Structure 1
């Protein structure tokens, strides 16, 4: 699997959170999921993506901008 580009780390830092704080807020036992998401090794569930969006005061498409553009362009081609 190729890495999934995202801005999770950028927005987390802008909001002043550590990975540990985000993990605690999302009720995870460790930071491993947060780390994998930020590295693009995996993606959060829709529910967790919405939680991150709320926590980081931004929209989901801002957190995964490149993926958002790719999906949007692919759908436009199919019209």
Structure 2
């Protein structure tokens, strides 16, 4: 998969978030920025992203994913 494909899939499946995707092949780093992460702990935030990509993970199109989630305020301060 290409980073643009991963980003497009996430944008289709998770509303009101901005995504920055880096990587290639089946290894990607996903940075997700959205207000929805303000009320989720780290595990729940990662589960949201993993759930949105579950088909690609199950098929083997995605193998290794590193996930970082931020609120817009946290992102601005990062």
TM-score by length of 2: 0.31
Higher strand share: 2
Instruction: Report the TM-score, using the length of structure 1 for normalisation.
Output: 0.31
Q: Which has the larger radius of gyration?
A: 1
More helix by share: 1
